A and B are shown apart, each in its own frame.
Chain A
Amino acid sequence: MPKDFGIGAPQKRREDIRFLTGRGVYTDDLKIAGQTYAVFCRSQVAHGRIVSIDTAATLAMPGVLAVFTGEDFKDVGGNPAGWLIKSRNGEAMREPKRPVLAHGKVRHVGDAYAAVIAESYQQAKDAAEQLAADTVIDELPAIVDMAAAVADASNRVHDEIPDNLCFDWGWIEDNRAKVEEVFKTAPHVTTLELVNNRLVPNAMEPRASIGEYFPGTGDYKLTTTSQNPHLTRLLVAAFVLGIPENKLTVVAPDVGGGFGSKIYHYGEEALVLAAAKKLGRPVRWTAERTESFLSDAHGRDHVTKIELACDKQGNFLAFRTETLANVGAYLSNFSTATPTFLHGTLMAGPYKVPAVYVNVKTVFTNTAPVDAYRGAGRPEATFSLERVIDKMCRELNLDPFEVRRKNFITTDMFPYTTPVGLVYDTGNYQATLDKAIEVGDVKGFEARRAESAKRGKLRGLGLSTWIEACGIAPSHLVGVLGSRVGLYDAATVRVNATGNISVMVGAHSHGQGHETVFAQIVADKLGIPESSVEIVHGDTSKIPFGMGSYGSRSLAVCGVAMTKAVDKIVAKGKKIAAHMLEASEADISFENGKFSVAGTDKAKTLGEIAFSAYVPHNYPLETLEPGLEETAFYDPNNFTYPAGAYLCEVEVDPETGKVQVCSFTCADDFGNIMNPMVVEGQVHGGVGQGIGQALCENTHYDENGQLVTGSYMDYAMPRASDVPFYTVDYSCQTPCTHNPLGVKGCGEAGAIGSPPAVVNAVIDALHRGGIKVSHIDMPVSPARVWSAIQNA
């Protein structure tokens, strides 16, 4: 029986009522007196030198208030990369300045080189069109293909970076020679070259920002679509515009999805603030969908060669990878961490492989910046591993289930130190695999395959056993690895005088359901109704300095900070109760919302304690401060390591190449579960995006750097008819050992574990149909499957 209250209850999400009835308040919904409109001029060419921008005609147009170009920001700071990565030779990565507006050169289609502010949106649009016509840009050859970018020193995205290389990273460099030795003597080596396709995040709500300046106080306010308002404040204030942090409030109101793309600070945010100051009026901007396609940070985009060394029985001896990772034209905030420490460190999977070496060359190209997107690095690692393992099984004629099983780290081996620098605290990979086999009815597969065959369809079964590192992240560790920030989080629990509770959290909910789940936890711990707990997030003037939501960290980091603050409330409440009940503090216990004296019926409710704390007439003021409000910061000791086994069944139509996903089974270990319904929803969403990556989504730049898939006419999003009814099981639970909630994080799992399961299923279907295809790159579109069949 699921609980109907508190931790573990499948509560419906309270925020959905406002979202589903159109009462959410998103940035673009806010109307501010005196507001003006910004429209950006964006490059139509992938690469070009800005020769001149003549603003005269534009400034004379009706309603135009101001024009900004790169020249206006040449003396302010750049938008920095959050991680400093060192190359194999010890050199620091190349870090070109990322300006508010392009200056000197434009570097990708959609790169903003000017902005126009006008009284109305239409006037700003007209003016931006005029300004574009009065701008001269000398087009340069576009740098699109990564291999060509590195090979050709004459054509440079950034003039000061000769080979377009950001860094050449080895992980772990000291293991390189050892891994080479293993490959020399290995009885079998499987090699696979693959592409992890570039994705456009496609949050339903496009990015939007409103800048305000209050001349009376010199304060600024930025309302923006952010997953982490404090991080945005730090970046735009301290790094870019030089505004004191305490003079800038950043508010991220309701945000309609981010998937990573709204972690980062973007130039548009700095622009609306600078313009608001200059004009003394609010300045607003909302991206059009085309702008989102062209200028949101994209995800993935790796080209990888992976090799697996093993014995003839399929025992892994080593993995080795060489990856080219696209960072696009500029370094977005997490772009250097994603292909390195969120990718290389996962390259041992859940396996006891003794030797691993990962090499990543990160390349600048004339394309939109690439950064973390749901899963961020871990989907790339998982895809490479699970695909090469599948290929090896086929080459050696081994059972893919048994091969994984024999290579799993076993439960007696935890804590387990991997050869790529992580320490897995706990897990049970055998259990999730067994569970997937059971709930996915692997036994019945043969009958289902026969039935599909009767209809002329090839049915296949794909497996992926995945692990990820989330709950990002232990600051001491990431500091050593190059992070320029800490990755703790924070929460304040305020028991109001009348006994209800406001919880101010550093995490930001943009669809995940924090307002419900966090309230469940606080209510459970304090023994009060969930309805008396309110979660406050997204406003730097209200919440403590937290690092926001990404990397499946909200619960495992901020949620823990919140429970620690609750513990402090209880500890203080005991002191107050001891005074009121004239007992010793040690004799006070707290349960079901009541402080009571052990062995007596003397008790005070939390409400009574709170009242006393705010109306301290009978209160130990000499030893205790009044009020009942506590803040806790929490910095995790380690990552958390969710893991699981995913099974996908597909049908391939051999005549057309169309793939239909028939079923998808997830057996996950997320540790303790706070709200099973929300967990299922997160897994559904993640798997949906994974199926999208595997079968539909393709971001294609042509050789001139034009984004061919710049709209939904050509960029295929997964739809309801593309996904099956999911089977989601989370009954295998090995609670995280180093946080008090025992939680691990479930936000990215679906997107990490699913793509290889889908592709493995397609390859399996083709093989069972006698078509010997060893690999098809994602997205596995009908046209690609058909041509693979033709060429088999």
Chain B
Amino acid sequence: MYAFDFVRPKTVADAVKALQAEDAQALGGGQTLIPTLKQRLAQPSVLVSLTGIDEMKGVCRDGDALVIGGGTLHATVAREARAHYPALAALAGNIGDPAVRNRGTIGGSLANNDPSACYPSAALASGATIVTNSRKIAADDYFQGMFTTALEPGEIITSVRLPIPQKAAYVKFEQPASRFALVGVFVAKHAGGVRVAVTGASNNGVFRWTEAEAALSANFSAAAVKGLKASAADLIADLHGTAAYRAHLIGVLTARAVTAAG
């Protein structure tokens, strides 16, 4: 690590102010950022910890949606979302290990937008709204490619509003080493149609598989997607799987998610 200053404000307003310093950076649970610092791959002047901001924490039901504070731990979501949105709770409960789940936050995960992370698929399939200190961003506009989002420098995710689908499931096929998603598929059946979000697979980060959405909106059953083949174009190819393998897994996992959603 390089040396840096550290502040831990108590309000979003103070955090926003602190983040105006040159090369300041927000620190959520640190599960991504701290390893990056340890490898000397980032050199912030000041880390603005968001862990002291109570208004950014918690899971609450708001009509047909679940609102989750940007600083809420994965473990908290796993516990408190269960009664409202079990697919989301299950996703959160299967991120990393207990240590990661008790430090890492939903805001940090969405801000980071790792192409293999789990939460982005839930946000996209739910049709979530990302709420920041200054605006509301629809998930469809928020994710802009691998590690790239609509966030401006210094902008903080204060909460995430996730409409609760009628039926949903997330199926994650683990990359053997990191146990992030080699491919993960989140299927959500809403009153207005089905949304299918795929993570882990694409060079452009999380994306919606629109062919599957159309087929499932017409007939919400595993059989409806059996014949569909996801395109391998622009999919990630690495040591853990070719693009063709990932494309194949998208189909398999989508069918399994539909079955699991019931």
Interface, chain A (partner B; CB < 8 A): 122, 125, 129, 290, 655-658, 695-696, 698, 700, 708-709, 712-717, 719, 779, 781-783, 786-787
Q: Which of B3, B179, B249 contacts A122 (CB 8 A)?
A: B3
A712 and B178 within 8 A (CB): yes
Nearest chain B residue, comparing its CB with the CB of A781: B176
Are the CB atoms of A787 and B245 closer together than 8 Å? yes
Give the distance in Å from the alpha carbon of A696 to the alpha carbon of B179 in the complex.
12
CA distance in complex: A781, B239 (Å): 10
Neighbouring A residues of B239 by C-beta, 8 Å? 698, 700, 708-709, 714
The residues of A that contact B252 with a CB separation of less than 8 Å are 655-656
Q: Given contacts A655-B252, A656-B252, is CB(A787)–CB(B242) below 8 Å?
A: yes
Chain A residues with Cβ under 8 A from B39's Cβ?
290
Taking a contact as CB atoms under 8 Å apart, the answer to whether B240 and A781 are in contact is yes
Q: Shortest Cβ distance from B240 into chain A, in angstroms?
A: 6
Given A290-B39, A656-B249, check contact A714 B241 (CB 8 Å): no
Known: A786-B248, A787-B242. A656 touches B177 (CB 8 A): no
Q: Does B173 contact A (CB under 8 A)?
A: yes
- Report whether A713 and B242 are in contact in the complex, using a CB–CB cutoff of 8 Å: no
- In the bound complex, residues from chain A placing their C-beta under 8 Å from that of B240 are 714, 781, 783
Q: Which of A290, A655, A715 is within 8 Å of B177, CB to CB?
A: A715
Contact B249 A712 (CB under 8 A): no
Give CA–CA (A766, B179) in the complex, Å.
25
Closest Cβ of chain B to A417, distance in Å, is 44
A417 to B4, CA, bound (A): 68
Of all chain B residues, the one with the shortest Cβ separation from A125 is B40
* B182 CB contacts on chain A under 8 angstroms: 782
A658, B40: Cα distance in complex, Å: 36
How many chain B residues touch A (CB < 8 A): the figure is 18
Q: List 26 A-B contacts (CB under 8 A).
A: A125-B40, A129-B40, A655-B252, A656-B173, A656-B249, A656-B252, A657-B245, A658-B173, A698-B239, A709-B177, A709-B239, A712-B177, A712-B178, A713-B177, A713-B178, A714-B177, A714-B178, A714-B239, A714-B240, A779-B176, A781-B176, A781-B240, A782-B173, A782-B176, A783-B240, A783-B242
Query: Complex formed: what's the CA distance from A330 to B241 in Å?
Result: 32
Q: Are A716 and B176 in contact (CB under 8 A)?
A: yes
Least CB distance, A359 to chain B, in whole angstroms: 31
* Cβ contact within 8 Å between B3 and A696: no
Chain B neighbourhood of A658, CB < 8 A: 173
Contact bitstring B231-262, A, C-beta under 8 A = 1, else 0: 00000000111100100110010000000000
Q: How far is the CB of A455 from chain B (nearest CB, A)?
A: 13
A30 to chain B, nearest CB (A): 23
Which of B3, B173, B245, B252 counts the most A-chain CB atoms under 10 A from its CB?
Answer: B245
Query: What are the residues of chain B within 8 A of A783 when measuring CB–CB?
Result: 240-242, 245
Nearest chain B CB to A268's CB is how many angstroms away? 20
Q: How far is the CA of A658 from the CA of B249 in the complex (A)?
A: 11
Docked pose: A698 CA to B239 CA in angstroms: 9
Q: How far is the CB of B228 from chain A (nearest CB, A)?
A: 14
Contact flags (1/0) for B1-28 with A, using CB distance below 8 Å? 1010000000000000000000000000
Against A, the Cβ 8 Å flags (1 = close, 0 = not) of B187-198 are 000000000000
User: What's the least CB distance linking B250 to chain A, in Å?
Assistant: 11
Task: Identify the closest chain B residue to A783 (Cβ).
Answer: B241
Contact A716 B173 (CB under 8 A): no
CA distance A698 to B39 in the complex (A): 23
Instruction: Give the CA-CA distance A782 to B178 in the complex, in Å.
Output: 14
Listed from nearest, the 3 A-B pairs whose CB atoms lie closest are A716-B177, A716-B176, A783-B241
**Who on chain B is nearest to A653 by CB?**
B252
In the assembled complex, the Cα of A122 lies from the Cα of B239 at a distance in Å of 34
Once the chains are docked, how many angstroms separate the CA of A122 from the CA of B4? 12
